[in-house]
Chains A and B, each alone.
Chain A
Amino acid sequence: MAAMTAALSSSVVTVRKQNPILSSYSYSQSFNPNLRISNTNFIKSPINLSLSSSSSSSRIVPVSASATDSSDTSFTAATAFHGVCYVLGENIDTDQIIPAEYLTLVPSKPEEYKKLGSFALIGLPSDQYPIKFVESGEFKSKYSIIIAGDNFGCGSSREHAPVALGAAGVTAVVAESYARIFFRNSVATGEVYPLESETRLCDECTTGDLITIELNESLLINHTTKKEYKLKPIGDAGPVIEAGGIFAYARKAGMIPTLAPSS
C-alpha cells in the first residue's frame, strides 16, 4: 500500500509517502517478522536516557533476538517533506478531522483505512473552508502538508484522526501547538509528522502554497511567498519518532521481541 501511494505523492525527497515518520508497523510492513530498526539512520541524537529507563524495561519481556541484526532495510527516516499546503485555523478538533459517523471504519483494515482518507477534514464548516480538502469521489487529497493554528487535534482520542490525514496523503502537520492525544497518536502511529512552528504560520501561508520542510534544519520554506520560517525542535518525542513509533522504539530498547510469534 505504501508503495502504491508513492506515485500519487508530490514528495520529492526520501520519504515514503504513507509513512512519513517511517514505521515498522506500516500497513505494508507490519507482518514482516524481520523489522529493521537501524540506529545508523538517526544520527541527530542518541536515545534520551530518561526514556530508555533500563531498570523498568528489563522486567518486561526477555528478548533473545537483537533488534538490530536484521538485514531488512525498509526503514528510512524522513528528512524533508515537500508539497502543497492546506491552511487551517485554531482548535481544529477531531470531529472536524474525522466526524464520528465515520468511526465505524477500522483503521487496521486496509480497505477501511483507504476510505478514512476520503473523509479527512470533511467536518470542516464549509463557509469557513470553501476549498474541499479531499475532492468528492477521491480517496486522496492533493494537499500533503497541513498548516494550522493552536491546539490542533483537540477533542477525542480517536486514532482515526491522524490515520485519516495519513490515509489522505498528508505527510506532515505544522501547527502552532497540538492537543496532547493527537500529537501522541501521530507519533505512535507514524501516520503524520507533527511539527510545531515558532510563529503563527496559518496567517502567513495560504492554501495551495508550495511548501518544503527541511527536518534537519527545522525549517519551513514557502516557495510561493519566498519566505522561510523556523520550526521548533521535536523535543521529547524525538527518540520515539526516530525509532518509528512506540512499537519500534520498544523493540529497539529490547522491551518487546522483534520477532512476532509465528501465526
Chain B
Amino acid sequence: MASSTIAAGSATSSFIKKNEMGLSSFTPTSFRTRSCKRAFSKKVVSVMSPPQSERRPSTTGSVKTAMTMTEKIMARASEKSQVVPGENVWVNVDVLMTHDVCGPGTIGIFKKEFGENAKVWDREKIVIIPDHYIFTSDERANRNVDILRDFCAEQDIKYFYDIKDLGNFRANPDYKGVCHVALAQEGHCRPGEVLLGTDSHTCNAGAFGQFASGIGNTDAGFVMGTGKSLLKVPPTLRFILDGEMPSYLLAKDLILQIIGEITVAGATYKSMEFVGSAVESLTMEERMTLCNMVVEAGGKNGVVPADSTTYKYLEGKTSVEFNPVYSDDNARFLQQYAINVSKLEPLVAKPHSPDNRAMARECKDVKIDRVYIGSCTGGKTEDFLSAAKVFLASGKKVKVPTFLVPATQKVWMDLYAMAVPGSGGKTCSQIFEEAGCDTPASPSCGACLGGPRDTYARMNEPKASHVCVSTTNRNFPGRMGHKEGEIYLASPYTAAASALTGYVTDPRDYLQ
C-alpha cells in the first residue's frame, strides 16, 4: 500500500524551519514561545521513539484479513495482527487529554486507585487543557483549574496549557482554549494513533485519520496510570461523499444531513468513516467539523483518511513519527451511504435534538433573538472567515446580538491578523465590527454548554431572548443555559445570514 510508505514525520527539521519562518501573523510574544516549544520537542525526539512503529503487522504484505481504518488502528494499538468488530481489546493509548471539568475527577480517581504518590504512566503523553469554565468568578470552577495546575506541577506534565491571569487571556502565552482545536493546532493529533479524552467531542481528531474517542473520569484515571484502555472494536459505517461542494455549503451542513439521516443513535457503538471526493476537497478544519459531531449520532469515533491535506497541516506541528493506515478495499463495512453533496441545501437542526433536521429555507419564519458563533465545532478560524464572508457580501448590519467566541488564542489572533479574501485587506474583526457584532470574546468553550451563570453569551433569560442560531453541536433542552432556550444548530454561513435578518435564513440569500 502506497500510503504506508509515507513517513510523514521524517522531514521534521525542514518542516520546523518552514514553520518558524512562515508563521508570521502572530504577535512577537507568541512567536517566541512557539519557537521555544519546537526546540524542546525536537530534543525529545531522540529519546522517545514510538514503541510500536517498527512492526506493523496490520499493514505488512502477509496474508491478512481485510480491515477498516479503525480496525487497523486498534489492531496495532493492541499489538494484534488483526481484530474484528465486537472484540474487546486492551489498547495502548498514544495521547490522553483532559480538561478543567473532568480533569479534577480523573485525578481524584487516579490518586485513589494508584495511590497518593503514584506517577502517571507517561508525562509526555498526557495533555491537559483548561478550556470549559475559565472566564468566570465561580470559585469552584477556578479551583478546578488550580487542581490541574498543582497536579501538572507535581507530575511534571509536559503539555499543560495553563491560564493564571483571567483578566486578560493574552497575558497567558501558554493558554490555548477549546481542547479539541488546541489538540490539532499544537500537533497532538496524528494519523494512526489512539487519542482518548474526557470529552465527548474528542472524536474531532478523527479528522487526522486517528482513533479518537471520549471517555469518562474513571476510564481516564485508568489510562493515566497504565496507558491502556479496554475498548470494544466498533464496526464501521462508511459515508461516501461525492460531488462538488456548492459554494454555500460547509461541512456542518454535511454532518447535519448525515445525523438527520441516521438519527442521534444511528451510529451508537460504531465508527463513522468519511471518504469520497467531497471529503478529499475539505480543509482540515472542515474535516474536524465533520468528525466533531460524530458523537451526536452516537458514534464511537469518526475517521477521515489522512492525505496530503493532512500532512500539510501537520508540517511543523509535530516531530513525532506517525504511521497512517487506510481501509482495505475489501474491508467489511456494516453499511455504506453514498451522498451527492452537490444536491444538498443549507440545513439546520431544530430544537431540541441534533437530528431534528430541516432546510434553513423551511425555517425562514422562525424569529430569532441571538446568534452564537463559537465552540470546537464552529469556532475555528475558517468558521469565522465563513461568517465574515457573508457579512462582507451583504454589507449590512446584524439585527440580533451576535456573539463571537474564538475557540483558541490562535483563532482569536487570526481574527485580528488574517485578511479576509476579497475584502481588500480587511480582517474578520473589522468586518464583524462593521456588521455590528459583539467584540470577539476570550477563547474558551463559552456558552456552547451553558456553564456557570456568568459565562459570556449564556442563555439566562427564559423568554426575552430564548431563540438562538448557533454554530455549536448540541441543542438539547438547557444546553446553552436556560431550559426554555431554543437552539437551531447551523453552519457559520447560515448563522451569519440569520444574524443579518433576525430570522433563520438560507445563506444563499447573500452568497449567490
Residues of chain A touching chain B, judged by Cβ–Cβ distance below 8 Å, are 25, 30-31, 48, 50-51, 53, 55-57, 60-61, 91, 93, 95-96, 99-101, 103-109, 123-126, 150-151, 154-160, 162, 177-181, 184-185, 188-189, 236, 240, 245-247, 249-250, 255-256, 260-263
CB distance from B334 to the nearest CB of A (A): 15
**Which partner residue on chain A sits nearest B228 by CB separation?**
A60
Tell me which residues across on chain B come within 8 A of A108, comparing CB atoms: 104-105, 107-109, 112, 217
Give 1 or 0 for each of B276-309: 1 = CB within 8 Å of chain A CB: 0000000000000000000100101000000000
Instruction: Please tell me if the beta carbons of B219 and A188 are within 8 angstroms of each other in the complex.
Output: yes
Instruction: Please tell me if the beta carbons of A123 and B477 are within 8 angstroms of each other in the complex.
Output: yes
How far, in angstroms, from A91 to B328 measured CA to CA in the complex?
35
B19 within 8 A of A: no
Tell me which residues across on chain B come within 8 A of A261, comparing CB atoms: 114-115, 117-118
Cross-interface CB contact of A185 among B144, B216, B474, B477, cutoff 8 Å: B216
Residue of A158, A236, A261 with most chain B CB atoms under a 10 A cut-off = A158
CB distance from A118 to the nearest CB of B (A): 15
Tell me which residues across on chain B come within 8 A of A246, comparing CB atoms: 218-219, 222, 230
Instruction: Please tell me if the beta carbons of B115 and A95 are within 8 angstroms of each other in the complex.
Output: no
Cross-interface CB contact of B226 among A106, A157, A255, A263, cutoff 8 Å: A255
Instruction: Please tell me if the beta carbons of A53 and B215 are within 8 angstroms of each other in the complex.
Output: no
Instruction: Please tell me if the beta carbons of A104 and B140 are within 8 angstroms of each other in the complex.
Output: yes
Other 20 A-B pairs with CB < 8 A, given A53-B78, A261-B114: A51-B230, A53-B88, A53-B89, A56-B79, A56-B90, A96-B478, A104-B138, A104-B144, A125-B483, A151-B264, A155-B200, A156-B449, A157-B214, A157-B216, A179-B268, A181-B200, A181-B215, A246-B219, A260-B113, A263-B117
Tell me which residues across on chain B come within 8 A of A158, comparing CB atoms: 101-102, 216
Tell me which residues across on chain A come within 8 A of B80, comparing CB atoms: 55-56
Instruction: Please tell me if the beta carbons of B216 and A180 are within 8 angstroms of each other in the complex.
Output: no
Instruction: Please tell me if the beta carbons of A96 and B476 are within 8 angstroms of each other in the complex.
Output: yes
- Known contacts A61-B226, A256-B225; A104 and B141 CB within 8 A of each other: yes
- Known contacts A151-B298, A177-B265, A236-B232; A56 and B89 CB within 8 A of each other: yes
* Interface 9-residue window, one of B62-70, B422-430, B450-458: B450-458
Tell me which residues across on chain A come within 8 A of B222, comparing CB atoms: 188, 246-247, 250
B471 within 8 A of A: no
B199 within 8 A of A: yes
B132 within 8 A of A: yes
CB distance from B366 to the nearest CB of A (A): 19
B116 within 8 A of A: yes
How far, in angstroms, from A218 to B196 measured CA to CA in the complex?
33
A-B contact pairs, 14 of them (CB 8 A): A50-B88, A104-B101, A150-B265, A156-B199, A159-B216, A162-B216, A179-B268, A185-B219, A189-B217, A245-B218, A246-B218, A246-B230, A250-B226, A256-B226
B479 within 8 A of A: yes
Cross-interface CB contact of B108 among A109, A126, A162, A179, cutoff 8 Å: A109
How far, in angstroms, from A250 to B198 measured CA to CA in the complex?
20
CB distance from A194 to the nearest CB of B (A): 13
**Which partner residue on chain B sits nearest A186 by CB separation?**
B216
**Which partner residue on chain A sits nearest B445 by CB separation?**
A100
How far, in angstroms, from A246 to B133 measured CA to CA in the complex?
29
CB distance from A137 to the nearest CB of B (A): 20
B353 within 8 A of A: yes
B269 within 8 A of A: yes
Instruction: Please tell me if the beta carbons of B215 and A184 are within 8 angstroms of each other in the complex.
Output: yes
Give 1 or 0 for each of B199-215: 1 = CB within 8 Å of chain A CB: 11010000000000011
B87 within 8 A of A: yes
Tell me which residues across on chain A come within 8 A of B101, comparing CB atoms: 100, 103-104, 158
How far, in angstroms, from A60 to B91 measured CA to CA in the complex?
11
Instruction: Please tell me if the beta carbons of A154 and B298 are within 8 angstroms of each other in the complex.
Output: yes
Instruction: Please tell me if the beta carbons of B451 and A101 are within 8 angstroms of each other in the complex.
Output: yes
Instruction: Please tell me if the beta carbons of A100 and B451 are within 8 angstroms of each other in the complex.
Output: yes
Give 1 or 0 for each of B260-282: 1 = CB within 8 Å of chain A CB: 00001100110000000000000
| CB-CB contacts below 8 Å: B414-447 with A | none
Instruction: Please tell me if the beta carbons of B230 and A240 are within 8 angstroms of each other in the complex.
Output: yes
How far, in angstroms, from A124 to B215 measured CA to CA in the complex?
24
- Nearest 8 A/B pairs, CB to CB: A108-B108, A263-B116, A261-B115, A159-B216, A185-B216, A157-B214, A104-B140, A157-B200
**Which partner residue on chain A sits nearest B100 by CB separation?**
A104
- Known contacts A101-B452, A179-B268, A261-B115; A25 and B109 CB within 8 A of each other: yes
Tell me which residues across on chain A come within 8 A of B113, comparing CB atoms: 25, 30, 247, 256, 260
Instruction: Please tell me if the beta carbons of B264 and A91 are within 8 angstroms of each other in the complex.
Output: yes
Cross-interface CB contact of B198 among A30, A31, A126, A157, cutoff 8 Å: A157
CB distance from B78 to the nearest CB of A (A): 6
- Known contacts A99-B450, A104-B141, A123-B478; A156 and B200 CB within 8 A of each other: yes
Instruction: Please tell me if the beta carbons of B478 and A57 are within 8 angstroms of each other in the complex.
Output: no
Cross-interface CB contact of A95 among B105, B116, B477, cutoff 8 Å: B477
Cross-interface CB contact of A157 among B89, B102, B298, B483, cutoff 8 Å: B102
Give 1 or 0 for each of B131-147: 1 = CB within 8 Å of chain A CB: 01100001011011001
CB distance from B58 to the nearest CB of A (A): 15
How far, in angstroms, from A262 to B78 measured CA to CA in the complex?
31
Instruction: Please tell me if the beta carbons of A154 and B89 are within 8 angstroms of each other in the complex.
Output: no
- Known contacts A107-B105, A108-B108, A159-B105; A180 and B218 CB within 8 A of each other: no
- Known contacts A95-B477, A262-B115; A104 and B452 CB within 8 A of each other: yes
Instruction: Please tell me if the beta carbons of B215 and A91 are within 8 angstroms of each other in the complex.
Output: no
CB distance from B509 to the nearest CB of A (A): 32
- Known contacts A50-B88, A260-B115; A56 and B104 CB within 8 A of each other: no
CB distance from A136 to the nearest CB of B (A): 16
Cross-interface CB contact of A180 among B104, B144, B298, cutoff 8 Å: B298
Tell me which residues across on chain A come within 8 A of B79, comparing CB atoms: 55-56
| CB-CB contacts below 8 Å: B471-512 with A | 474, 476-479, 483-484
How far, in angstroms, from A123 to B453 measured CA to CA in the complex?
15
Tell me which residues across on chain B come within 8 A of A156, comparing CB atoms: 199-200, 449
Tell me which residues across on chain B come within 8 A of A184, comparing CB atoms: 215-216, 219
Instruction: Please tell me if the beta carbons of A159 and B217 are within 8 angstroms of each other in the complex.
Output: yes
CB distance from A119 to the nearest CB of B (A): 12
